[in-house]
Each structure stands twice: as C-alpha cells, then as structure tokens.
Amino acid sequence: MIDLDDPTALRRGDPSGMLALVEGLGPMVLEGWEAGAAAAPPLRTPRVVVAAGLGGSGIGGDLLEALVAPTSPVPVVVVKAAALPACVDRDALVVACSYSGNTEETLAVFDEAARRGAAAVAITSGGALAARARAAGAPLIAVRPGLPPRAALPLLLVPMLRLAHRLGLAPADDADVQEAAGLLRRLAAEWGPAAPAAANRAKQLAVRLSRALPVVYAATPGLAPVAYRWKTQLNENAKRFAVWNQFPEASHNEVEGWQAPPADAAVVVLRDAEDGARAAREMDAVRALLARQAGQVDDVWAQGEGRLARLLSLILLGDFVSVYAALLRGVDPTPVAAIAAVKRQVQEALPPQGTSAP
C-alpha cells in the first residue's frame, strides 16, 4: 500500500495532479465569483430558476438549491436530463452549465429553453454551448478550460451563486466568498499531501473508506448535495462503489436495512453546527444503531461561519479523501474510462445526423 506521506509515491500515483487541483479549490472560489460578474441576469424577476447540468457540471445546481432554499422566494429546480419540466416558460430563468460545453443533455435543455422563450444563461469553458449562447445573444459566463469537470466545481457553482445574489435569491456576498476561499486555503494546508497522516483527517478517513464500502450520510437535507458529492467523488476518483442518503428520510426506510448490514461498511455522517436540536437527537439515535451494526462511525463537522464556507469545507474534505483513497487502491484518480466508454457507445448507437432512428 502506498505511503500517503511519501511525496514521490504521491506524484507517481497521481501523474495528472488531481491532488493539486483539490488544493486549489480555495483560489478557484474567488475566480468563480469574478467570472460570475461578467453576466447580468437576463430576467430580473423569474418565477422559477432552473439549474441544468450533469455530473461534475451538475452538482453545482444541487448545491445552489441547498444554499438558496432558506432565503429564496422562488424555487430552484435542478435538471439532470435532456428535458425541461412543464413549468418552464417565459417567466423562467434557465442556467445551463456544462464545463466542456458539449454535454448532449445540457445542449438539449438550452435549445428547449429558447423554444419556450425562457431566459437563459450559459456557464461553460467553451464548446457548443458557448457557440449557441453567443449565437442566441444569451449571457455567457466563460470559465477557465483544461480541467476535469469535477475539479472545477467552484468555477461552476460560484457564478450561479453570484447570479442568485444579484436576483435577491441568495444572501451570499463578497464577504461570504472571501471567507470561504480563505477557509479552504487553510484547510487545504491541514488536509493536503504535505500534512502527515498522523494529524491529517483526510488521510485517516481515506484509509477506512478505501478498505470498506463507503456509506455517507447527510444529517439534514441541507447537507444532502454534499453527501452526494462525496459519493460521486469516490466513484470518479477512487473508482469505488459508494452509498449515500440523507436524514430524516433515511430514518423512515434505510435504517431497517442495517438489520442485515453489508459485511464491511465504513460510515461517515456529515454534520453542521446549525443542524438543530431535533437533528442532533436523531443522529444520536442513528449512531447508536450504526455503531452496533457497522462498528466505527465517523462524524465530520462543517467548519466556517457562512453557509457557503461550511458546505465547501465538507466538500474539500471529501475531495481529498476520494483522491487519497484512489492512491491507496493503486489507481490513477484522473481518468474516467468507464464514463468515456459509455458515452462512446451511446454516440455510436445514435443514427447519423440528418436521419431518424427506425
């Protein structure tokens, strides 16, 4: 097994530098906020906001919904498909997010928004989405290219948050963004590759999660997209199957499944000091059950003052954990061969352009 404290071994196991990208999430928050200043919302009073995107380009929509839900007077609907819900019309704002600019489903959503007369904003590093936005005269937020989409999260989320702020849907402002960026820089030093495993929470969790089935729980619905991010990062970086869920919903179904638990499971519960008394009592009860059935349960607490900082602190930790888990398993965290293979097979099965399927 690789020594996570050996710089040479880390460089050898991570030739594309995914660890360095995770370390750079803090500065990327500021970069995303600056990028978001380039586009004004094309609709000042939307009845609904749709955040459309998939994979690493889609998690930003989940986080946006969680961040604005406590304050927004209009709903944020997350779309991870090629179709828009029926509620989208001329009073809707559609934010189409595709880091590559070539995600088929997101391009379909952008085109459908135009057909319905909905206002649209594109967030991308280029590709077909940028071209279509320019041709349509739609606001375009162009972000830095050349990254794996999952490593560009702040470049995709934070511009959306700035749009929401300008619409009066989110309280996040310059101070919140500065706090989040500074906190992530500090935590990156604490959890990064130079910090020894003996005092490095990310490396310690990675050892546990690389040896067993990772089960990640959000203590409240507001932390659900963070738990999902942990799960997808373990999928893409560590090439591991993982499970996630949220409370209180899991108390009404999944807890029964722990009567016949998997042979090896490593449970992580994501917590926030603002979860509330009821959530705290529920987590105490759930942890007692899980401790009997799964053994060790790790609580991971959000850090920071503002909600953006707290959510991103948990995401940073999960991203580090996923990369360390990949290195412990002897796999390069950057390539996503299975995803590429599926996309290739789908494209090969499509009829040639200009023809229709039988």
Mapped to the 3 state alphabet, what secondary structure does 99-127 carry?
Answer: CCCCCHHHHHHHHHHHHHCCEEEEEECCH
State the pLDDT confidence band at 353, using cuts at 50, 70 and 90.
low
In a domain, 11, yes or no: no
pLDDT at position 195 over 80: yes
pLDDT at position 117 over 60: yes
pLDDT value for 296: 81
Average pLDDT over residues 248-273: 93
In a domain, 341, yes or no: no
The active-site residue out of 179, 236, 239, 282 is 236
Residues 32/159, Cβ–Cβ less than 8 Å: yes
State the pLDDT confidence band at 350, using cuts at 50, 70 and 90.
low
Give the integer Cα–Cα distance in Å for 201 and 193: 11
Q: How many residues does the chain have?
A: 358
Tokens of 251: 């108390």
Point out the least confidently predicted range of 166-170, 263-267, 307-311, 344-348.
Answer: 344-348
Task: Give me the residues paired with residue 298 across strands.
Answer: 268
The active-site residue out of 34, 249, 274, 343 is 343
Amino acid letter for position 106:
T
Q: What 3-state DSSP class applies to 231? A: helix
**Is 266 in the same domain as 321?**
yes
pLDDT at position 121 over 50: yes
Average pLDDT over residues 324-342: 94
Residues 234/329, Cβ–Cβ less than 8 Å: no
**Is 304 in the same domain as 240?**
yes
Q: What 3-state DSSP class applies to 149? A: helix
In a domain, 86, yes or no: yes
Angle among Cα 243, 334, 185 to the nearest 5 degrees reads 85
Amino acid letter for position 94:
V
> Pairing between strand 243-246 and 297-301?
unpaired
Look up 80 and say whether it is catalytic. no
**Is 215 in the same domain as 165?**
no
Q: Which residues contact 210 (CB under 8 A, 6 or more apart)?
A: 238, 240, 324, 325, 328, 329
Domain membership of residue 254 as a residue range:
192-328
Look up 165 and say whether it is catalytic. no
Domain end marker among 116, 140, 172: 172
Place of tokens 């799960």: 231
In a domain, 343, yes or no: no
C-beta pairs of 283-290 under 8 Å, 24+ apart in sequence? 283/219, 283/247, 286/217, 286/247, 286/250, 286/251, 286/255, 289/255, 289/258, 290/258
In a domain, 313, yes or no: yes
* pLDDT, averaged across the chain: 94
pLDDT value for 172: 84
119: left (phi over 0), alpha (psi -120 to 50) or beta: beta
pLDDT at position 70 over 60: yes
**Is 299 in the same domain as 216?**
yes
State the pLDDT confidence band at 356, using cuts at 50, 70 and 90.
very low
**Is 135 in the same domain as 214?**
no
Give the integer Cα–Cα distance in Å for 171 and 308: 10
In a domain, 122, yes or no: yes
DSSP code of residue 312: H
**Is 166 in the same domain as 22?**
yes
**Is 251 in the same domain as 104?**
no
Tokens of 244: 């996630």
**Is 157 in the same domain as 216?**
no
pLDDT value for 282: 95
CATH code at 27? 3.40.50.10490
Closest by alpha carbon to 53, among 129, 131, 134, 161? Answer: 129
The active-site residue out of 252, 254, 305, 348 is 252
**Is 27 in the same domain as 149?**
yes
pLDDT value for 358: 35
Phi and psi (nearest 5°) for 244? Answer: -140, 160
pLDDT value for 170: 86
pLDDT at position 65 over 80: yes
pLDDT value for 262: 85
Q: What is the CA radius of gyration of the chain?
A: 20
pLDDT at position 337 over 70: yes
**Is 238 in the same domain as 294?**
yes
Quickly list H helices, the chain: 7-13, 18-23, 25-36, 59-68, 104-116, 127-136, 153-166, 174-191, 201-211, 224-236, 254-257, 277-294, 307-328, 337-349
Percent of the chain exceeding pLDDT 70 equals 97
Residues 231/217, Cβ–Cβ less than 8 Å: no
Look up 104 and say whether it is catalytic. no
In a domain, 319, yes or no: yes
In a domain, 12, yes or no: no
Give the integer Cα–Cα distance in Å for 100 and 52: 14
**Is 203 in the same domain as 167?**
no
State the pLDDT confidence band at 357, using cuts at 50, 70 and 90.
very low
Task: Give me the residues paired with residue 294 across strands.
Answer: none
**Is 139 in the same domain as 283?**
no
**Total number of domains in the chain:** 2
Average pLDDT over residues 220-235: 98
